[in-house]
Amino acid sequence: MVDESKIRWTPVKNIQATCEAESRKRKFGGFGYAVEACSFWDKDDDGNNICSIYTKVSTNLHTLGHEVRHCFQGKWHK
């Protein structure tokens, strides 16, 4: 859990393909189930938290808010 994070939001046309690719790029192995959005954490060169959120081009407040919560609380629903 963190109290500060830079958030980058990227709406994409193919959310499943994007989330699977981002997961595999980070060696997490993909999702293996349908997703509406996803978020991933990194550190910048100064050690600051960077959270990248990916959603469908047309999304809603609930989905975006859900991912923002992950940016601060990690995998809170698992």
The tens digit of pLDDT for each residue in 16-65 reads 999 999 999 989 899 989 999 999 988 889 988 899 999 999 999 999 99
Of all helices (H) and strands (E), which one includes residue 37? strand 37-43
Residue type, 71: C
**Cβ(38)–Cβ(31) below 8 Å:** yes
Residue ranges of alpha helices (H) inside the chain are 15-25, 61-73
26 Cβ contact partners less than 8 Å away, ≥ 6 residues apart: 40
Indicate yes or no: pTM above 0.85: yes
Residue type, 43: K
